[in-house]
Structures are given as C-alpha cells and as structure tokens.
Amino acid sequence: MNGAHDLGGMHGFGPINPEVDEPVFHEEWERRAFAITLAMGSHCKWNLDMSRYARESMEPAEYLSTSYYEHWIHGLELLLLEKGFLTEDEIQQRMSDIAAQEKT
C-alpha cells in the first residue's frame, strides 16, 4: 500500500535533529502503548504485516502530524475492534469514566 508512510525520497521534511541522550520512552503513555501492543501481539491474532497495515491506514495528514506510538495505538485499536476483542462503545465509555475519575 502506498500512502503517507511511504516516505523514501520525499522532499521538504527539514533537518533530522537527533536528540542527545534520548530516553527509551519519553512519557508514561508511550511505555504503556508499547507494552500493550507487544503483549496483545502474543495472542497471534495478527502478524507484523497486519499491524503495519493498521498503523498505515491512518488518515495521511494525521499520520504525518502524530508521533510514532500514536501510530501504534491507532493500529492496535483498529485490530482490537476488527478481531472483536473490544467494541467502540466500550472504549468510549472507559475513556469518559477515566476522564471523570481524573477530574475528582
């Protein structure tokens, strides 16, 4: 599939700016996103190609403006829905529950 992820040879992205002494993860949510993605992978309901395809299915402008683990989470959510592990409503409900809890 070609798409926004197919970046080889594209112009206009500017300098690379490597970060000095970069940590493995920058924020706690990245740790969690990484771990749940790997752990769910061990159920063998999908393979690496399917995960990649799910990540790359992101809307192109969104793909380019979001960070790496956001691609992962987008892909994971899609596969969880597709394989019937979770439903959209469940996820929305849990998100509002957690948001409400965090406000108190």
Amino acid in position 38 = L
Smallest gap from Cβ 29 to other proteins, in A, equals 5
58 touches other proteins by CB under 8 A: no
Distance CA 55, CA 49 (A): 10
For residue 46, state whether it binds other proteins (rule: CB under 8 A): no
Residue appearing with tokens 């990484």: 34
Q: Which is nearer to other proteins, 65 or 82 (CB)?
A: 65
Among 29, 59, 60, 82, binds other proteins (CB under 8 A): 29
> What's the DSSP call for residue 11?
-
To other proteins, the closest distance from the beta carbon of 57 in angstroms equals 13
Q: Return the residue matching tokens 């399917």.
A: 50
CB contact at 8 A, 40 and 76: yes
State yes or no: residue 34 binds other proteins (CB under 8 A).
Answer: yes
89 binds other proteins (CB under 8 A): no
